[in-house]
């Protein structure tokens, strides 16, 4: 019930046909997404102007509703790989550069040009669920950075050109699995307040945790956007300082400032900022801040585009916004029943996706912006013998997913999208056998069952679909 309520609340669309599946282990949490971060503004600054600035032609740019790099049109053939910063660390429990290199090589062989990574991770993991947040945090306390984590992002950005890739870099996350907007508010609030965590899937207990109503959580996180809120000045300061820290960071391996690095395709202001009375102004101000630091890279709000045409306009209208991105989540939004194996169920999800892609492409065209489907995903087949937690193992079939991915690819191209990025690449990672609180860095963030939306390097049929995209 808690899960259902959460799913429905998360779906601001009014299109909720009946209720959503409830396979054992299938959670529909509040959103699904990922992103990354950095440190040391001042220390690294002295190397700042070391190298000659790269030729402007190497930066991906927008012209009308198209992306270009040099004289060639640039299509985002993308993979969400939010884990990159942590896996890219030199040492520690999350570090695994061997895996990143293998994952990027595999993605490259499929023609993937772009990864979407997270440049943020705030606050310590709440006890006693150590993996409900990314660890170690990039920002353990307001304005304090763990430079070893930032150096992981340095390493990833330095590696991307070898694979001919660029990155969409998320500067913040709305959701709590990396700390997120609510953590910034909690740090700033006086008197101190607790984050009203909504119910989440507990991978050990295999049930939903007790949680605050979804609306209470969103109201709390949205305080980051409200200039009249008592926590706002400090929370907002932490966000803005973080934006500065990332955008002006000097890569410790290459000496290039991130803002001068063509490996960055776009800065994303936040992963999935939710609609609220103040969010449009916040996005406009944040976009202006980024543009004041870096006028060359594309800037996108990071919205899902799930709230209709007026909200799309509001969230993308600011002059600092130069790229639109949208997310489509059929199951999370109650538009797909994951335990229904029928073709009719799949076709229903595809029909909703078609309408969404066509609508959002038209809205972006009206604003003269290119648009990228920065997230789309579908769980592994969750019926029959594979139902429940087993559905998340690499052995579970992916028939609906493969068909859905192919349909997304086709429709995005036909509708004039500048590309798309599937959620998410797990590559060589494998979920633990049975319930486990251990974070395996698959494509699923820590509050979701490992393997749910993951594409493994063993998913040959899915990889074939992606290569043909
Ligand atoms: C989802 O599909 C399964 C299998 O057909 C069915 O038993 C279940 O009632 C469906 N759930 C919803 C909410 O329609
Ligand atoms: C790195 O990742 C690979 C694939 O997930 C795994 O086999 C290997 O054990 C990992 N290495 C470390 C040091 O965790």
DSSP 13-53: SS---S-----TT----S-----B----HHHHHTTTT-SPP
Alpha-carbon span 102 to 79, nearest angstrom: 14
Alpha-carbon span 246 to 178, nearest angstrom: 16
Instruction: Kindly state the DSSP code that residue 56 receives in the 8-state scheme.
Output: G
Q: Whose CA is nearest to atom 11 of ligand 2?
A: 96
What is residue 20's predicted lDDT score, i.e. its pLDDT?
27
Q: Whose CA is nearest to atom 11 of ligand 1?
A: 21
Alpha-carbon span 271 to 248, nearest angstrom: 20
What is residue 47's predicted lDDT score, i.e. its pLDDT?
36
Count of beta carbons in the 10 Å neighbourhood of residue 379: 28
- Whether the predicted pLDDT of 28 surpasses 50: no
- Whether the predicted pLDDT of 189 surpasses 60: yes
Strands 166-170 and 114-118: parallel
Instruction: Kindly state the DSSP code that residue 431 receives in the 8-state scheme.
Output: P
Alpha-carbon span 16 to 349, nearest angstrom: 12
Pocket of ligand 2 (CB under 6 A): 96, 98-99, 428-429
Is 415 near ligand 1, meaning CB less than 6 Å away? Answer: no
Alpha-carbon span 395 to 156, nearest angstrom: 30
What is the Rg, in whole angstroms, of the alpha carbon atoms belonging to the chain?
20
Please, which pLDDT band fits residue 249 given cuts at 50, 70 and 90? Answer: very high
Choosing from 20, 340, 379, 382 the residue with most ligand 1 atoms within 8 A of its CB, the one to mutate for a pocket test is 340
25-29, 117-121, 151-155, 232-236: segment of lowest average pLDDT: 25-29
Ligand nearest to the CA of 21: 1
Q: Whose CA is nearest to atom 9 of ligand 1?
A: 21
pLDDT (average), residues 187-204: 89
Structure tokens at 74: 């640039």
Please, which pLDDT band fits residue 44 given cuts at 50, 70 and 90? Answer: very low
The atom of ligand 1 lying closest to the CA of 383 is 4
Sheet holding 66-69, edge to edge: 60-63, 66-69, 72-73
**290 alpha carbon – ligand 2 mean position (Å):** 36
Is 337 near ligand 1, meaning CB less than 6 Å away? Answer: yes
Alpha-carbon span 24 to 386, nearest angstrom: 11
pLDDT (average), residues 419-446: 91
Say what the alpha-carbon torsion angle 287, 168, 32, 344 is, to the nearest 10 degrees.
110
Is 348 near ligand 1, meaning CB less than 6 Å away? Answer: no
Q: Look up the CATH number of the domain holding residue 37.
A: 3.20.20.80
The atom of ligand 2 lying closest to the CA of 440 is 5
Q: Of 58 and 323, which is predicted with more confidence?
A: 323
169 sits in which H/E element = strand 166-170
Alpha-carbon span 312 to 64, nearest angstrom: 17
pTM of the shown model = 0.89
What is residue 9's predicted lDDT score, i.e. its pLDDT?
31
Is 340 near ligand 1, meaning CB less than 6 Å away? Answer: yes
DSSP 278-302: THHHHHHHHHHHHHHH-SSSEEE--
**Which domain covers residue 127, as residue numbers?**
2-468
Q: How many domains does the chain have?
A: 1
The atom of ligand 2 lying closest to the CA of 429 is 5
Please, which pLDDT band fits residue 40 given cuts at 50, 70 and 90? Answer: very low
The atom of ligand 1 lying closest to the CA of 337 is 1
**23 alpha carbon – ligand 1 mean position (Å):** 9
The atom of ligand 2 lying closest to the CA of 441 is 5
- Phi then psi for residue 21, to 5 deg, are -50, 160
- Whether the predicted pLDDT of 13 surpasses 60: no
Is 18 near ligand 1, meaning CB less than 6 Å away? Answer: yes
61 CB-contact burial (10 Å; exposed 0-12 / middle 13-18 / buried 19+): middle
Choosing from 339, 348, 384, 391 the residue with most ligand 1 atoms within 8 A of its CB, the one to mutate for a pocket test is 339
13-17, 185-189, 301-305: segment of lowest average pLDDT: 13-17
Q: Of 293 and 32, which is predicted with more confidence?
A: 293
What is residue 154's predicted lDDT score, i.e. its pLDDT?
98
The atom of ligand 2 lying closest to the CA of 102 is 4
What is residue 18's predicted lDDT score, i.e. its pLDDT?
27
Q: Whose CA is nearest to atom 8 of ligand 1?
A: 21
What is residue 10's predicted lDDT score, i.e. its pLDDT?
33
Q: Of 420 and 395, which is predicted with more confidence?
A: 420
What is residue 15's predicted lDDT score, i.e. its pLDDT?
29
Structure tokens at 339: 């335990």
Report percent pLDDT > 90 for the chain. Answer: 76
Is 3 near ligand 1, meaning CB less than 6 Å away? Answer: no
**201 alpha carbon – ligand 1 mean position (Å):** 20
pLDDT (average), residues 224-244: 98
228 CB-contact burial (10 Å; exposed 0-12 / middle 13-18 / buried 19+): exposed
Q: Whose CA is nearest to atom 3 of ligand 1?
A: 340
What is residue 1's predicted lDDT score, i.e. its pLDDT?
24
- Whether the predicted pLDDT of 103 surpasses 70: yes
Q: Whose CA is nearest to atom 4 of ligand 1?
A: 340
Average pLDDT over the chain, rounded to whole?
Answer: 87
Is 339 near ligand 1, meaning CB less than 6 Å away? Answer: yes
User: Are residues 325 and 374 in contact, defined by beta-carbon separation less than 8 angstroms?
Assistant: yes
């Amino acid at each position: 019930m808690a899960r259902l309520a959460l799913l429905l609340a998360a779906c601001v669309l009014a299109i909720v046909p009946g209720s959503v599946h409830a396979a054992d282990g299938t959670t529909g949490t509040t959103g699904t997404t990922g992103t990354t971060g950095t440190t040391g503004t001042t220390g690294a600054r002295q190397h700042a102007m070391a190298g000659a600035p790269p030729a402007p032609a190497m930066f991906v740019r927008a012209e009308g509703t198209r992306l270009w790099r040099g004289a060639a049109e640039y299509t985002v053939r993308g993979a969400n790989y939010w884990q990159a910063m942590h896996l890219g660390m030199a040492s520690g429990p999350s570090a695994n550069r061997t895996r990143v290199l293998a994952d990027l090589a595999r993605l490259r062989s499929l023609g993937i040009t772009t990864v979407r990574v997270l440049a943020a991770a705030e606050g310590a993991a709440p006890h006693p669920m150590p993996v409900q947040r990314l660890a170690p945090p990039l920002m353990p306390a307001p304005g304090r950075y763990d430079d070893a984590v930032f150096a992981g992002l340095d390493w990833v950005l330095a590696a991307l050109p070898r694979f001919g890739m660029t990155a969409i870099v998320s500067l913040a996350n709305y959701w709590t699995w990396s700390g997120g907007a609510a953590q910034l508010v909690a740090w700033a609030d006086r008197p101190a307040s607790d984050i009203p965590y909504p119910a989440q899937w507990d991978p050990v207990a295999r049930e939903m945790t007790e949680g605050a109503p979804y609306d209470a959580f969103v109201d709390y996180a949205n305080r980051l956007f409200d200039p009249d809120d008592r926590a706002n000045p400090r929370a907002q300061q932490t966000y803005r300082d973080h934006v500065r820290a990332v955008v002006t960071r000097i890569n410790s391996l290459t000496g290039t400032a991130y803002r001068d690095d063509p490996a960055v395709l776009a800065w994303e202001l936040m992963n999935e900022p939710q609609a609220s009375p103040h969010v449009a102004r916040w996005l406009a101000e944040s976009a202006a801040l980024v543009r004041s630091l870096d006028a060359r890279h594309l800037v996108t709000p990071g919205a899902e585009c799930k709230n209709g045409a007026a909200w799309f306009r509001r969230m993308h209208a600011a002059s600092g916004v130069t790229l639109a991105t949208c997310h489509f989540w059929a199951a999370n939004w109650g538009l797909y029943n994951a335990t229904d194996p029928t073709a009719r169920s799949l076709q229903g999800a595809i029909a909703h996706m078609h309408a969404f892609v066509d609508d959002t492409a038209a809205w972006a065209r009206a604003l003269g912006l290119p648009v990228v489907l920065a997230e789309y995903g579908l769980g592994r087949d969750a019926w029959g013998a594979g139902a429940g937690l087993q559905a998340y193992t690499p052995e579970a079939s992916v028939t609906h997913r493969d068909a859905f991915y192919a349909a997304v690819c086709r429709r995005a191209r036909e509708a004039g999208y500048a590309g798309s990025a599937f959620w998410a690449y797990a590559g060589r990672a494998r979920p633990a056998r049975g319930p486990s609180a251990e974070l395996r860095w698959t494509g699923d963030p820590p509050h979701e069952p490992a393997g749910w939306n993951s594409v493994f390097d063993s998913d040959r049929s899915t990889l074939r679909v992606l290569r043909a995209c």
